[in-house]
Amino acid sequence: MDPPQQPAATRPGTGQRVLSSAYGGEARDASLLFTLYYIACFGNETTPGTLERGIGQDGGAQDARFHGGSQLISLRMADQLDGRVVLNAPVRRIDQDSTGVLVHSDAGVWSGKRVVVAIPPQLAVKIAWNPGLPVEHETLFQRLPMGTLMKVEAVYPRPFWRDAGLSGMAINLAGPVRSMFDNTPPGDEAPGVLMGFIGGHAWRRYRDPATRRAAALKNFATTVGSRALTPVEYFEQDWTRQPWTLGGPTSVAAPGVVSDFGAAIRDPFDRVHWAGTETSTYWNGYMDGAVRSGERAALEVRQRL
Ligand SMILES: Cc1cc2nc3c(=O)[nH]c(=O)nc-3n(C[C@H](O)[C@H](O)[C@H](O)COP(=O)(O)OP(=O)(O)OC[C@H]3O[C@@H](n4cnc5c(N)ncnc54)[C@H](O)[C@@H]3O)c2cc1C
C-alpha cells in the first residue's frame, strides 16, 4: 500500500518533480536565488542557461551518457597518473603554516606547498583543520547539505517498450519515481533497463523497501505497460547512505545561504584551494561543473606557485 498522500495544497507540482531529481529536494528546500542560479548554470560561456537545457536531450543535460559508466572518467584519469592516485585514504586532518601544508589520511601523511580540496562542502567541515576554517567557510559549508536522492533500476530480458515506439522517459506526477529513463546498455543482446530517480519528498516518504519497490515498478508500468511490473532484477542505490558523499546529486542552498554566505565559496584559505562541482559557475551540480572547477583550481595553484 502507498504511504498516505500529502494534502493537495502541499503536493509537489510538475516543476518540483523536475527539481526533485535535479537537486534531490523540493522547491521549498532551496531559495529562489539558488534555483535561478542553478538554472543559469545550465549555460556556458556562449549559451545562456535555461531549464530546457537542464532537463533536455539535444544539447542539454540528458544529451549523452557514458558507455561503460561515468566512473570511466576517474579510471582513465587515474591510468594517466601512473599509480599516483591513492585510494582508501580518507583525509582526517589538514595542517598549514607559512611554509606548507600537511594532509593526514588513513593511508599516510602528505606534504605540499598547496592543496586542492574537492569534496562535498559538508564533508569538508568534518576534516580537523589546523588552524581552524575561516568562519566564512565554516558557516557556508555547514549550510550546504546534499540533496536526498536514490536511483532504482529494473532489468528486463529486452527493452520491450521500444517495440511500441516508447522512449521509456517520463516525468511522473504520482508515485516515488519522479523522472525515469531508458538505461539499456548499447548492443543487440543487451537486457532492457529502466532507471528512475527517487528524490526530495518522495525519498523521505517511501522509506519501506517493499512498498518503494512496488510503487517504483508501478511508475514504470504506467509509462511502458504492465510487463514492467515483473523485472528479472531490481537494484537500488541510496546516495544518502554513502558516507563519503552523503546524498546527491549536489549541495542545495536554503533561503539566505547564497546571499549571506555564498561569496566565500571559491576563496582560497591560505594554501588551501576549493574545487568540486559546488564551486563551479557552469553546470554546478554536474560532472561538467566538477571538471571545470578542477581546471579553475589548478590555474589558481599554478598562479601562486
Ligand atoms: C544519483 C545521481 C545521479 C547523477 N546524475 C548525474 C548526471 O546524469 N550527469 C551529471 O553530470 N552529474 C550527475 N550527478 C552529479 C555528479 O555525480 C556530481 O556532480 C559529481 O560527481 C561531482 O563531482 P565532484 O568531484 O565535485 O565530487 P564527488 O564526485 O563527490 O567526488 C568527491 C570524492 O572525494 C572523496 N572524499 C570525500 N571526503 C573525503 C575525504 N575526507 N578524504 C578523501 N576523499 C574524500 C569521495 O569519496 C569522492 O570520491 C549525479 C549524482 C547522483 C548522486
Contact status, residue 147 vs residue 284, Cβ threshold 8 Å: no
Tally of CA atoms within 13 A in the half-sphere of 237 that contains its CB = 13
How many domains are contained in the chain? 2
Return the residue whose CA atom lies nearest to atom 50 of ligand 1: 249
Return the residue whose CA atom lies nearest to atom 46 of ligand 1: 244
- Domain that residue 230 falls in: 12-23+149-247
In a domain, 262, yes or no: yes
Residues 232 and 153 in one domain: yes
Which is nearest to 215 in space by CA: 159, 228, 22? 228
Residues 133 and 274 in one domain: yes
With cell 553546470, the residue in question is 283
Distance from residue 245's CA to the centre of ligand 1 (Å) = 7
Residue 210 sits in a domain whose CATH number is 3.90.660.10
Residues with CB under 6 A from ligand 1: 90-91, 118-120, 123, 127, 149, 151, 239, 244-245, 248-250, 276-277, 285-288, 290
> Residue 9's pLDDT is what?
40
Distance from residue 250's CA to the centre of ligand 1 (Å) = 8
Which is nearest to 176 in space by CA: 155, 144, 145, 148? 148
Contacts of range 225-233, beta carbons closer than 8 Å, 24 or more positions apart: 225/160, 225/161, 225/164, 227/156, 227/160, 228/154, 228/156, 228/161, 228/194, 231/154, 231/155, 231/156, 232/155, 232/156, 232/157, 232/191, 233/154, 233/155
pTM, whole model, 2 decimals?
0.92
Question: Do you find a cis peptide bond into 209, omega within 30 degrees of 0?
Answer: no
> Residue 13's pLDDT is what?
55
Phi-psi region of 195 (alpha: psi -120 to 50; beta: other; left: phi over 0): beta
Residues 81 and 214 in one domain: no
Residues 92 and 237 in one domain: no
Residues 243 and 253 in one domain: no
Distance from residue 10's CA to the centre of ligand 1 (Å) = 31
With cell 574545487, the residue in question is 275
With cell 523521505, the residue in question is 204
In a domain, 112, yes or no: yes
In a domain, 64, yes or no: no
Quote the DSSP letter at residue 79.
H
In a domain, 37, yes or no: no
β 233-238/149-156 pair status: antiparallel
Question: Do you find a cis peptide bond into 3, omega within 30 degrees of 0?
Answer: no
β 192-199/149-156 pair status: antiparallel
**Of 247, 268, 293, at which residue does a domain stop?**
247
Residues 132 and 275 in one domain: yes
Residues 156 and 239 in one domain: yes
| DSSP-H helix ranges across the chain | 14-22, 32-40, 51-55, 71-80, 121-124, 135-142, 200-205, 209-224, 257-261, 287-304
Q: What's the average pLDDT block by block, 10 residues per block, for the chain (305 residues)? A: 45 58 85 94 94 86 87 92 94 98 98 98 98 97 96 97 95 92 87 95 94 98 97 97 95 96 96 98 95 97 96
Residues 156 and 227 in one domain: yes
Contact status, residue 200 vs residue 176, Cβ threshold 8 Å: no
Distance (Å, rounded) from C-alpha 113 to C-alpha 305?
8
> Residue 16's pLDDT is what?
57
Residues 100 and 120 in one domain: yes
Distance from residue 195's CA to the centre of ligand 1 (Å) = 19
User: Mind listing the pLDDT tens digit for each residue in 45-57?
Assistant: 999 999 989 888 8
In a domain, 122, yes or no: yes
From the CA of 293, give the closest atom in ligand 1.
Answer: 26
